[in-house]
Structure 1
């Protein structure tokens, strides 16, 4: 790595990553909860939820809390969606411009994940727990083994962490030390607050998922509203629920854009809001209007503290690690230093990439990859040409789209240009002993940078950091899906006849994958939910195999790998694909797999290769055998 040559900003990053101060965890512990207390104060939130009520004369009915103002601050200061979701992305109908979008919360955790798995911005299914708070008589903050709770379900114990979390923050408060409450009375209040939070969390989750559908989004017809039109629509639902109307959406948009250099034209700017998101915004407006402010504060407080807490003291980290272990038996978090290194990679990946990028990649490696990608594009065009279910008009449009596909490989071309990296991270300050503050500074700079894109020209750029090892298609940039044309715009480019033929073909995949059975869970794979990824797996293997054949025709036989001399190129190809998904799954991981849009890993191999005649030929699978069924599902 060329760390000694990093620009000034990246040198500070290097010091934070490579030269971690001695006893880093101890220093974080010494700082205690102060970093979070400072953030809470800036967000307009108390040191602990007011609902806990550690005074005897508190009157909830007179309590005022401007929840919308706090939600605005949460979005602009830590980049997190709470209650309201907001985003800016390429306009589906005109990918050269940006559009505003609102709806359900999307970025529910802006910080690096504590767990070693792909970070998800969506929480899992909420659990409904009907706890009797009399079960738990002691919230001893020094006991992370959840003593006295082993007789209840794991889900209940997971939610109990919210009570322990609040107890830790109350215990650090001077107000508690001056309180006349006994320890038992405090615990009773905290359990009551925990139950109230779980109830609100479940209510809001129900609103987020109400009327959810498995059908594909109609990108061409997503409604657009001015802020006044959106307000009028949600006001109707608030009135129907006999609640008081509040002018939410103009205040929200003006509030979050106070940090931006862009001035919104709210009389004319249109906001993209899908039908389901529109329903959510109408329902959440009514729900907020009827919910006591002290409970809304409780909900926001826990949501915000939950995502920050794991990045502070060892006590809070251990609390959440125990909770995660209850939720997943294969959870593993790693050491604090490794987590810090991963956080730098996650949040400052371009700077880390600078340390490993070199001219050899651009001059030697990248051209080879470009040749490989061109061979893959050619093979895709060949498969499209063979597809009998596509009419000529759709084939021509597909060829044009393949030609227009753009590839981002390895690192951005500008990465090694002098001054470009500092320009990319302009406005970010990092200090080696300010872990949480560093992440928040980065988030704030990136949030402002994102907001400033509005009214600008959208150019294709990197959607992830170069240090992420992955291959993907972005949401609409020349996506393989049929909803976007060659320019990435949501315009119809398949004929109706081709669409009908395609949908007929997909039924085969739905039936095939729905027949796969997991005896450990006594459940089948959902062939409809996993359809898109199954088609991608099948088509990807066929495309790669066709590209291999084209390559071998041009270059001749490949050199044999030592120890694998007896295998043909085709056999090595299929061995490599099978090895890609080789692994051992626990029952809990399989449960998680069934909630995903991908099929469990063993079926990603079995399902794809059962459909591939070349596999059966390479391995001499008998006709009608398990891996060479008579009925094969093929689209491309």
Structure 2
């Protein structure tokens, strides 16, 4: 599902123009952190001159961050994967040759190294040395960059070349500040109270809402993020697989069947591509609740093997945990047959689709009220069922459809089907780009949000079809909902879906939301329901009314 999170502050500000309120708030935040770190380390007092100096440094950081962001989000959208097999030397020549390329994004002059002053330029990435250093301590891995490891799968060589062109123009000091900031922005809330307060103040400024958690909640959340599997032991009920786990897995099977049936009826896909698409959805694996081994204490010990917890060194422990995660990933280079498995901790209130594994992960954290256990199955299918459908559909959104059933990035659809698909996505781009947020006089970016919008639309349609499969198996129709007896089951289904995305917002938070790949929640609801004739029929919305507009209904899945 990839819920929006406030921790995405850097991307939000990076996307913004340097003169927008979001970007200006971000620059002030960066400068304040720099100033605090400098005065704390040097025991110097803050002065107006220091504040001005760090404000200037922060503008350079924001400029580089904005430029990098725009390279990965061209024209407000997501980049198209263009996988290429390159040797290390070919990759080196590709990026070395980019120094004289025209820059694809604007860069603040204050962050740019003048052409005549080559001493301030970055000399480029040395890929061979970087890879060798990265894997230097990996167990059972010896790189053979002129042998078995000579081929690298580069997802987007165009991006790497553009990035190299950018690096050739960035002032070396500005780039060093940017790299420093990438690390410090992540770690600073885990250092002292002043750093945490700076982060909270920034978030409250850009969202116009209170975000400061109680100290106990901050600490509990930190432990959960760092050692989520260990924390999850507390919610790993041995009875879960036969109760909630079984029911959710059956719901996912209904969603899978509904999707496959819909593929068979599509008129824009040729027969071979339909067959390959059904094979992919049939091969899709799922992880529901928590891993089975979590109930075995010895397996848990093995999971954290090598980790030394320093009871008096919180930050050191945090760094060791991250080092363990990275080392485990690097050590697995020679084990491609191993499934990535769980991509998150069971306590996470979210759900995920992993393209490379062709897998869906549904943690026990989201299998709670108000997403699940709503009393009636029609409500469960409208809520968590639409989320399951959302995740399944991600495997066939504008990015996911580029990965085959084995998680390999390649063209496995026919050219004609790809062309039809791309044409259909433009309907969603146009539709969501028309949604105006009057409070901030701005529109949703239909291209930036395309993948999530496709998943939202397909997910709800599949969940409704899945519920009808379940209803056909039930010995009798589900009872009416007390207090809402006059509502039909279809109406309850749509109410449950809408309730998942119910939220209050501020003007600042709306502006912040527009920098995210998800549409604002109320737009997510409106956009999907506008495209579903079943909704209009259930609520008897006349054609041309607010919830059944005259515009074409966008449908892919």
- Deviations along 1:449-501, one digit per CA (max 9) or x if unpaired, are 11111122241411111111223311333323321222222232322332333
Structure 2 residue ranges without an equivalent (≥5): 102-114, 359-394
Q: CA 1:260–1:155 in structure 2 vs 1: closer, same or farther (change >3 Å)?
A: same
Q: What is the aligned partner in structure 1 of residue 377 from structure 2?
A: none
Q: CA 1:633–1:129 in structure 2 vs 1: closer, same or farther (change >3 Å)?
A: closer
Q: What is the aligned partner in structure 2 of residue 213 from structure 1?
A: 74
- Deviations along 1:368-409, one digit per CA (max 9) or x if unpaired, are 222211111111122222222222222222222222121111
Question: TM-score, normalised on structure 2?
Answer: 0.79
Q: What is the aligned partner in structure 2 of residue 191 from structure 1?
A: 52
Report the secondary structure of 1:359's partner residue.
coil
Structure 1 window deviating more from structure 2 (412-421 vs 523-532): it is 523-532
Contact 1:227 1:271 in 2 (8 A): yes
Number of residue pairs the alignment of both structures matches:
490
CA shift at 1:341, angstroms? 0.5
Report the secondary structure of 1:464's partner residue.
coil
Mapped pair 1:255 → 2:133: yes
Q: What is the aligned partner in structure 1 of residue 379 from structure 2?
A: none
Mapped pair 1:125 → 2:14: yes
Contact 1:234 1:285 in 2 (8 A): no
CA shift at 1:343, angstroms? 1.1
Alignment partners' CA distance in 2, 1:246 and 1:557: 66
Alignment partners' CA distance in 2, 1:506 and 1:301: 39
Alignment partners' CA distance in 2, 1:487 and 1:228: 28
Matches within 5 A, 1:383-394: 383-394=262-273
Alignment partners' CA distance in 2, 1:191 and 1:498: 56
Contact 1:347 1:442 in 2 (8 A): yes
Q: What is the aligned partner in structure 1 of residue 27 from structure 2?
A: 159
Alignment partners' CA distance in 1, 2:328 and 2:232: 20
Which residue of 53, 74, 84 maps to 1:223? 84
Structure 1 window deviating more from structure 2 (272-281 vs 578-587): it is 272-281
Contact 2:22 2:512 in 1 (8 A): no
CA shift at 1:549, angstroms? 1.2
Contact 2:428 2:454 in 1 (8 A): yes
Q: CA 1:156–1:530 in structure 2 vs 1: closer, same or farther (change >3 Å)?
A: closer
- Deviations along 1:131-167, one digit per CA (max 9) or x if unpaired, are xxxxxxxxxxxxxxxxxxxxx9785565344554444
Q: What is the aligned partner in structure 2 of residue 32 from structure 1?
A: none
Structure 1 residue ranges without an equivalent (≥5): 1-114, 131-151, 178-182
Mapped pair 1:336 → 2:255: no
- Deviations along 1:226-245, one digit per CA (max 9) or x if unpaired, are 33333334334558968475
Which residue of 260, 271, 282 maps to 2:152? 271
Mapped pair 1:398 → 2:277: yes
Contact 1:207 1:280 in 2 (8 A): no
Alignment partners' CA distance in 1, 2:17 and 2:489: 53
CA shift at 1:213, angstroms? 2.5
Mapped pair 1:439 → 2:321: no
Which residue of 459, 464, 474 maps to 2:354? 474
CA shift at 1:421, angstroms? 0.8
Structure 1 window deviating more from structure 2 (117-126 vs 609-618): it is 117-126
CA shift at 1:592, angstroms? 2.2
Q: CA 1:169–1:515 in structure 2 vs 1: closer, same or farther (change >3 Å)?
A: closer
Alignment partners' CA distance in 1, 2:488 and 2:529: 17
Which residue of 476, 480, 483 maps to 1:563? 483
CA shift at 1:322, angstroms? 2.3
CA shift at 1:569, angstroms? 1.3
Matches within 5 A, 1:401-420: 401-420=280-299
Alignment partners' CA distance in 1, 2:295 and 2:494: 38
Q: What is the aligned partner in structure 1 of residue 241 from structure 2?
A: 362
Q: CA 1:282–1:554 in structure 2 vs 1: closer, same or farther (change >3 Å)?
A: same
Q: What is the aligned partner in structure 2 of residue 505 from structure 1?
A: 424
Q: CA 1:460–1:255 in structure 2 vs 1: closer, same or farther (change >3 Å)?
A: closer
Structure 1 window deviating more from structure 2 (457-466 vs 505-514): it is 505-514
Q: What is the aligned partner in structure 2 of residue 38 from structure 1?
A: none
Q: What is the aligned partner in structure 2 of residue 588 from structure 1?
A: 508
Contact 1:530 1:596 in 2 (8 A): yes
CA shift at 1:204, angstroms? 5.6
Alignment partners' CA distance in 2, 1:247 and 1:574: 52
Mapped pair 1:465 → 2:362: no
- How big is the alpha-carbon RMSD for the aligned residues of Structure 1 and Structure 2? 3.1
Alignment partners' CA distance in 2, 1:490 and 1:619: 42
Q: What is the aligned partner in structure 2 of residue 542 from structure 1?
A: 461
Q: CA 1:588–1:625 in structure 2 vs 1: closer, same or farther (change >3 Å)?
A: same
Alignment partners' CA distance in 1, 2:511 and 2:184: 28
- Deviations along 1:164-219, one digit per CA (max 9) or x if unpaired, are 4444444445x657xxxxx68x6525632441343254146425534852576554
Q: CA 1:153–1:464 in structure 2 vs 1: closer, same or farther (change >3 Å)?
A: closer
Q: What is the aligned partner in structure 1 of residue 554 from structure 2?
A: 633
Which residue of 95, 111, 118 maps to 1:234? 95
Q: What is the aligned partner in structure 1 of residue 492 from structure 2?
A: 572
Q: What is the aligned partner in structure 2 of residue 291 from structure 1?
A: 172
CA shift at 1:503, angstroms? 3.0
Contact 1:509 1:534 in 2 (8 A): yes
Q: What is the aligned partner in structure 2 of residue 374 from structure 1?
A: 253
Q: CA 1:592–1:385 in structure 2 vs 1: closer, same or farther (change >3 Å)?
A: same
CA shift at 1:447, angstroms? 1.2
Q: Which has the larger radius of gyration?
A: 1
Contact 2:25 2:206 in 1 (8 A): no
Alignment partners' CA distance in 1, 2:546 and 2:7: 33
CA shift at 1:635, angstroms? 2.4
CA shift at 1:342, angstroms? 0.6
Contact 1:127 1:202 in 2 (8 A): no
Q: CA 1:156–1:472 in structure 2 vs 1: closer, same or farther (change >3 Å)?
A: closer
Larger fraction in helix: 2
Report the secondary structure of 1:407's partner residue.
strand
Alignment partners' CA distance in 2, 1:423 and 1:382: 42
